Amino acid sequence: MKRRTHPAIYICGLDKREVPDEAPTDGSPACPNIASHTPCPRGYNEWHAWAARMYRTHTQSRCPGCGLYKIWEPRR
């Protein structure tokens, strides 16, 4: 019997490059450009609703400090 393979979907994985929004307590460096990060909700469902709304009205760009896509600018 042939086994089906399904594509992997990662919903709640840890990004090893993720930089916290607030300064860490262990002394490790936070993003130097953290003031330009767009704040987002922490909850799973709230974040997905927010991201869908932002996708329609904003464009996303990479932060020059940490390299993550955390800067959203309104579309013209």
pLDDT in tens, 11-23: 544 444 454 555 5
Task: Assess whether pLDDT exceeds 90 at residue 73.
Answer: yes
Rg of the Cα trace of the chain?
16
Whether 69 is covered by a domain: the verdict is yes
Confidence of residue 48 (pLDDT cuts 50, 70, 90): very high
* 73 neighbors 58 (Cβ within 8 angstroms): yes
Residue 5 falls inside a structural domain: no
Instruction: Kindly state whether residue 44 falls inside one of the protein's structural domains.
Output: yes
**CA distances for 27 relative to 30, 32, 38, 63, angstroms:** 9, 14, 23, 21
The number of angstroms, rounded, from the C-alpha of 63 to the middle of its chain's C-alpha atoms is 11
- The answer to the question of residue 28 being in a domain is no
Split into its structural domains, the chain has a count of 1
Q: What is the DSSP letter of 36?
A: G
**pTM score, whole prediction:** 0.57
Task: Using the predicted structure, report yes or no on whether residue 42 has a pLDDT greater than 80.
Answer: yes
Host domain of residue 51: 35-74
